[in-house]
Amino acid sequence: MDVMVKFFLLLSWKNKLITIKKRLKKNNMSNIDKKTTKTDPIIEFDAVIVGAGFAGMYMLHRLRNMGLSVLVLEAGSDVGGTWYWNRYPGARCDVESMQYSYQFSEELQQEWEWTERYATQPEILRYVDHVAERFDLRRDIKFNTRVIAAVFDDNKNRWIIKTTDEVYLANYCIMATGCLSAANKPNFAGQDDFRGEIYHTGNWPHEGVDFKGKRVAIIGTGSSAIQSIPVIAEQARQLTIFQRTANYAVPAHNRPLDPEVVRNIKAEYADFRARAKLTPTGNFFDIGGTSAMVASEDEREREYEARWQAGGLQFLAAYADLMFDSEANKTVANFVRKKIREIVNDPQDAELLVPKNIIGCKRLCVDTDYFATYNKDNVSLVDISATPIEFFTENGVSVDDKIYEVDIIVSATGFDAMTGALLKIDICGSKGLSLQKKWTEGPKAYLGLALAGFPNMFIITGPGSPSVISNMLPAIEQHVNWITDCVGYMQNQGYGRIEAEEEAEETWVAHVGEVAGLSLRSTCNSWYVGANVPGKPRVYMPYIGGVPAYAEKCRQVAQGSYEGFKIS
């Protein structure tokens, strides 16, 4: 959209606003009948937060406790964000539940009882429901409301935020839109011709899908597919998996939580959390030796085997150089390849399932019976690495001139990660600068938190912050705490406008790129670099300099009166 169109849009909104009955700050959502879609819009808030996942919920709690008027706008019909949408069979978190939870309230973390080492998606939804009730969050969340545009008003230093029905004003606009929330739905030729059902794992129907007796296709072999394939294979008559790139997965060894382990962690939860924050990914992992290349072959095998038996993502914490030295990486990749060949009976399938690339470059998956599922009679694998899916027909999927007839197609094709949810909103900052334009060559953000040219806007776990390569819950809390302190500082000092300086942003973005270049993580076609979405600029998006260094940088910026920001 060009600048003039934006200008007229802005004008039309302003005119519309004049006709809208003004309600003053301090109004809260309890005055609205949330059940009606046509509300008389409350137009002015201190802060509008977009998204009611873990990030938006905690942001609301913090800002409201400061006495600010806050509204959360959420497209879904309830809280939960990624866990609200990702209801596919087998969905569960691959970060251990005792660590994948809020820590801002000691009472909350003491009272909540997780049942399994890795929480299922329904259990996580029960947890977010509990949090929403406990902190009375829903009264300030407007559900079924999608934000379609946000424009900064330079004269008033505030945001004009447009949903499908309404317009809101806010001094601060905080994007809690999630890193993995915009589904990547490849446009397969003929998909409208297909007479069966098509689902995307990231947008799963609430009523579930009945696979019993059905012939099912799954496209993709990322984390979502790897979790859902064993469960769907139990129900479907025939399951055909279309694999473009083989993926590494390590066993979860999920189990009910041992009450004694829980008691021990809870007895020193704050300390446990503090120790986790000292690790590169913010997870309390058993971190191994400094170099796989220094260890003997026998030592390495013992170490990898012990970690394989222990299960989970800490497998890759065996040695500190695994993600930096390709020879070290090969030792652990070969270990997993050997395991895959041992598990999968059919040698041809096994070879197709053995990944050829760097382990940990794409996100490591954590599985339950994934590779063993290929030994089932009703499961088959189709290699589409050289011959992609050509088109869908009325009754199936065509690859290499062969039609695979199916009743249901499951697209486990992932997300337009980190930038997709933000770019879906027409965001226009100071002096008509659009986010689309700013990010033409890839995302740029100061600390992954704020954008030069977009005053009074914050992004929770945005590109350029550890976010997706760290434990998301503490990452969210760290950002929310930082933003809360920043807004508090602005209020206390009587300031009305804060904006990242272009130079500070450029320096940070260059640092993010430089650090990424040191790691093997940036060397493959992963969603971390945007490779899964055709036409997306290739930039390594998360910050991999480690959680402690990142948190220290954020602390220093705040302590230095928000160094790198223009404040007025």
Residues that bind ligand N01 (CB under 6 A): 92-94, 180, 186, 201, 219-225, 227, 244-245, 363, 384, 389, 412-415, 468, 527, 532
Q: Least distance (Å) from ligand N01 to the CB of residue 472?
A: 9
Kindly give the residue spans of alpha helices, DSSP state H, lying in 66-188. 82-85, 106-111, 121-134
Q: What values do phi and psi take at 39, rounded to 5? A: -90, 160
Exposed/middle/buried for 39, CB within 10 Å: 0-12, 13-18, 19+? middle
CA distances from 85 to 80, 117, 182, 407, 422 (A): 8, 22, 10, 23, 17
- Nearer to ligand N01 by Cβ, of 304 and 370: the residue is 370
Contacts of 351 (CB under 8 A, 6+ apart): none
Distance of CA 420 to the CA centre of its chain: 11
Exposed/middle/buried for 208, CB within 10 Å: 0-12, 13-18, 19+? exposed
Q: Least distance (Å) from ligand N01 to the CB of residue 118?
A: 8
SS3 110: helix
- Nearer to ligand N01 by Cβ, of 219 and 435: the residue is 219
Distance between CA atoms of residues 301 and 41, nearest Å:
63
- Nearer to ligand N01 by Cβ, of 162 and 521: the residue is 521
Distance between CA atoms of residues 538 and 418, nearest Å:
13
The answer to whether 417 and 179 have CB atoms below 8 angstroms apart is: yes
The answer to whether 153 and 10 have CB atoms below 8 angstroms apart is: yes
Q: Least distance (Å) from ligand N01 to the CB of residue 188?
A: 7
Question: Per DSSP, which regions of 164-287 are E strands?
Answer: 167-175, 197-200, 215-219, 238-243, 249-251
SS3 339: helix
Q: Least distance (Å) from ligand N01 to the CB of residue 242?
A: 6
- Nearer to ligand N01 by Cβ, of 84 and 415: the residue is 415
CA distances from 356 to 308, 326, 327, 352, 360 (A): 19, 13, 14, 9, 12
SS3 452: coil
Scan for tokens 């601060």, then name that residue. Answer: 172
- Nearer to ligand N01 by Cβ, of 248 and 446: the residue is 248
- Nearer to ligand N01 by Cβ, of 87 and 244: the residue is 244
- Nearer to ligand N01 by Cβ, of 96 and 303: the residue is 96
Q: Least distance (Å) from ligand N01 to the CB of residue 389?
A: 6
- Nearer to ligand N01 by Cβ, of 63 and 529: the residue is 529
Q: Least distance (Å) from ligand N01 to the CB of residue 470?
A: 11
- Nearer to ligand N01 by Cβ, of 99 and 201: the residue is 201
Q: Least distance (Å) from ligand N01 to the CB of residue 14?
A: 40
Distance between CA atoms of residues 223 and 125, nearest Å:
19
The answer to whether 530 and 539 have CB atoms below 8 angstroms apart is: yes
Q: Least distance (Å) from ligand N01 to the CB of residue 263?
A: 26
- Nearer to ligand N01 by Cβ, of 64 and 363: the residue is 363
Q: Least distance (Å) from ligand N01 to the CB of residue 221?
A: 4
The pairing of beta strand 197-200 with beta strand 215-219: unpaired
Distance between CA atoms of residues 512 and 185, nearest Å:
28
Q: Least distance (Å) from ligand N01 to the CB of residue 211?
A: 18
Rg (CA), the chain: 24
Q: Least distance (Å) from ligand N01 to the CB of residue 181?
A: 10
Structure letter (DSSP) for residue 76: S
Distance between CA atoms of residues 390 and 156, nearest Å:
52
The answer to whether 323 and 519 have CB atoms below 8 angstroms apart is: yes
- Nearer to ligand N01 by Cβ, of 57 and 389: the residue is 389
Distance between CA atoms of residues 451 and 566, nearest Å:
11
Q: Least distance (Å) from ligand N01 to the CB of residue 385?
A: 8
CA distances from 71 to 133, 138, 174, 489 (A): 16, 10, 10, 20
> What amino acid is encoded at 215 in this protein?
R
- Nearer to ligand N01 by Cβ, of 201 and 456: the residue is 201
Which residue's CB comes closest to ligand N01?
A: 222
Q: What values do phi and psi take at 366, rounded to 5? A: -120, 125
- Nearer to ligand N01 by Cβ, of 256 and 534: the residue is 534
